[in-house]
Amino acid sequence: EPQPIEDDGEEVAERLGVRLTSPDRVVYPGQGITKSALVAYYEAVAEAMLPHIANRPLSLVRCPQGRAKQCFFQKHDTGGFPPQLRSAPITEKDGEKKDYFFIEDLAGLVAGTQMNVLEWHIWGSHFPAVEQPDRLVFDIDPDIGLDFSAITGAATDIRDRLEALGLVSYAMVSGGKGIHVVVPLEPGKTWPGIKAFCRAIAQNLAAEEPQRFTANLSKAQRKGRLFLDYLRNERGSTAICPWSVRSREGAPVAVPVSWDEVKGLKRANGFSLDAAAQRARSGDVWEGYFKQRQKLTDKMLKAVGAE
Ligand code: ATP
Ligand code: MN
Ligand code: MN
């Protein structure tokens, strides 16, 4: 049993100068988790989470009436947010500029919680160099009914393939159904190169083992298979941030795991707030993640047949 987080969310918000309204409002009815408790959670994981989220453009899942009611994705700052939830312009495909959220610190996480953010999704790049990705993610999406060992097996297969190319990768349970395999990169290539690389790996795996994998988004093609969702690696796409809670039943957290742990995992939504906080406190699960100095090279693109 993990040690419970002390619920001092109101004090945390006050200390940081973020106005927290209705701190006792329950946002996860199943667990009785309040806004204040979520703030306390983010304080507990801030040291682990902030390096993953700081200064990246965000997409937020907001649930103004708690997780059990309607939730929506919000990409653009339309005004009315606390100042700690900051924003900066990005030029959209159509040439128009839109303001995208970003945060720099725990006050930003608290400000989002004040605005009923229940999921923090990140771009694969940072401000101001948003055109140069520094993070790839292979999002493994299972068909319903598949045994979890199919997912863990796919994750380690993707790891091995990346390793053979010279890239170190890391695994995270999504807090939902699947596992994300994450590759930290030094900025260099732009989005089209990154996407081509990830698509080629997904398509190669699907071509070699069509009974296990599909690289096609269509649900019909997923029957009994895993969808290797490389589409997280497009300009403007996002993936759930490590240590973010999810808006799903049970308040599960997206949590980094070690490759040694992956084999034994039975589910992707097994970490509660308390369990995630305990893990974050216990040290660096993704050893060396922020020290990796690896670049996506033309040689790697060529090796996977990416154009
Ligand atoms: P699971 O393990 O259950 O698949 P997941 O976080 O990987 O959890 P996906 O459905 O695979 O969930 O979605 C992958 C990512 O795509 C999300 O984390 C999110 O960043 C992005 N996404 C999904 N739906 C939307 C949407 N409606 N608007 C914006 N982004 C979305
Ligand atoms: Mn997924
Ligand atoms: Mn997906």
| Mean pLDDT in residue range 285-307 | 96
Establish whether residue 119 lines the binding site of ligand 1, counting it when its CB lies within 6 angstroms of any ligand atom: no
Say what percent of the chain tops pLDDT 70: 100
Q: Which ligand is nearest to the CA of 121?
A: 1
Please report which confidence band the pLDDT of residue 93 belongs to, taking 50, 70 and 90 as the band edges.
confident
Q: From the CA of 288, how far away is ligand 1's center (Å)?
A: 26
72 CB burial (10 A radius; 0-12, 13-18, 19+): exposed
Residues in the chain: 307
Q: Give the pLDDT of residue 59.
A: 98
Kindly state the percentage of the chain with pLDDT values over 90.
Answer: 98
What is the model's pTM?
A: 0.97
* Tens-digit pLDDT profile for residues 1-23: 899 999 999 999 999 999 999 99
- pLDDT of residue 264 exceeding 80, the answer is yes
* Cα 122 to Cα 57: distance, rounded to the nearest angstrom: 6
Task: Determine the average pLDDT of the residues in 12-40.
Answer: 98
Q: Minimum-distance ligand to the CA of 229?
A: 3
Residue 128 burial by Cβ neighbours in a 10 Å radius (0-12, 13-18, 19+): exposed
Say yes or no to pLDDT of 63 above 90: yes
Ligand 1 pocket member 229 (CB < 6 A): yes
Is residue 176 lining ligand 1, measured as CB closer than 6 Å?
Answer: yes
Q: What angle do CA 8, 12, 16 make, to 5 degrees?
A: 175
Closest among 35, 22, 19 to 107, alpha carbons compared:
19
Do residues 245 and 251 lie in contact, with contact meaning Cβ atoms separated by under 8 Å? yes
Residues 121-151: pLDDT tens digits?
Answer: 999 999 999 999 999 999 999 999 999 999 9
Tokens coding 275:
């369990």
Average pLDDT over residues 105-117: 98
The answer to whether residues 59 and 112 touch, using CB atoms and an 8 Å cutoff, is no
**What residue type is 266 in one-letter code?**
K
Give the 3-state secondary structure of residue 138: strand
Q: Is the CB of 141 under 6 A from ligand 1?
A: yes
307 pLDDT higher than 80: no
* Summary mean pLDDT of the chain: 97
DSSP 8-state secondary structure symbol assigned to residue 216: -
Is the predicted pLDDT of residue 231 greater than 90, yes or no?
A: yes
CA distance 235 to 266: 32
Is it the case that residue 118 has pLDDT exceeding 90? yes
Ligand number nearest CA of 176 is: 1
Cβ of 66 closer than 6 Å to ligand 1, yes or no, is no
